[in-house]
Amino acid sequence: MAVVREASSIWETWYDVLFNPADAMKTVAAEQRKTRALLSLIIGIMPLWAAYFAINGQITELSGAIMGLHILGEAIIWVCGTALLHMASALLGGRGEATGLLCTLGYVVLPQLFLIPIIAIAQCLPAGFSVFTIAAGLAVLALWSFSLKVLAIRSCYGFTAAKSLLVLLSPLLVLLTGVAMTTLLLGISALTMVF
């Protein structure tokens, strides 16, 4: 059983998610504060817009509407992704709540806060190093967010790291299996039409 410390400020929670994620994910899953999770999701995706406008984007009349739609889209993906992962976890014998997973997955975008410093550093470098720095930084941030997702599933459902990884990859595996089966069936039907 995980030891849950008393409620902390959102700043402390963000720090813990970024730099002490195993304990923080257990705390977030136990507290189930949905408003904080939504705020973390919104704060986590804002650096994408800052980077867009800093690099070459232009602010137009539609920028506010597009940003609002982006936030709404991310929230829908967050809820639907949680539902898929909860279903996969339940099928694999997980014992947890979808609400805890929803809350923990709201925090997994926080590493994107480091996107702005990465781009700022990259713009100070020569062109070849700049592209490499941005690519390497994005890869590190993606890996960091991916590992936070694995920890979120692990802390919510009591899985091992391998089983959490399987849960996380299961929607992709189902999709790939469906594509393979469709391709196989189309190939078989095409062969029967030829002969």
Question: Would you state the pLDDT for residue 48?
Answer: 79
Would you say residue 153 lies in a domain? yes
Do 81 and 149 meet the contact criterion of CB atoms below 8 Å apart? no
Would you say residue 71 lies in a domain? yes
Question: Would you state the pLDDT for residue 1?
Answer: 47
- List the one residue out of 52, 72, 165, 64 whose CA is nearest residue 112: 52
Would you say residue 155 lies in a domain? yes
Question: Would you state the pLDDT for residue 194?
Answer: 72
Would you say residue 4 lies in a domain? no
Angle at 136 between CA 134 and CA 137, to 5 degrees: 60
**Residue partners of 21: CB distance under 8 A and separation at least 6:** 147, 148, 151
User: What predicted TM-score, i.e. pTM, was given to this entire model?
Assistant: 0.82
Would you say residue 62 lies in a domain? yes
| Three-class SS state of 8 | coil
Structural domain that includes position 124: 10-194
Would you say residue 144 lies in a domain? yes
- In the chain (195 residues long), the average pLDDT of successive 10-residue segments reads 63 92 92 91 86 67 76 91 94 91 94 90 87 92 95 94 94 93 90 78
Domains contained in the chain, number: 1
What's the one-letter identity of residue 88? A
Would you say residue 5 lies in a domain? no
Question: Would you state the pLDDT for residue 54?
Answer: 67
Would you say residue 2 lies in a domain? no
Q: How far apart are CA 69 and CA 81, in angstroms?
A: 18
Do 77 and 9 meet the contact criterion of CB atoms below 8 Å apart? no
Question: Would you state the pLDDT for residue 66?
Answer: 77
**Residue partners of 168: CB distance under 8 A and separation at least 6:** 85, 146, 149, 150, 153
**Residue partners of 157: CB distance under 8 A and separation at least 6:** 89, 94, 95, 96, 101, 164, 167
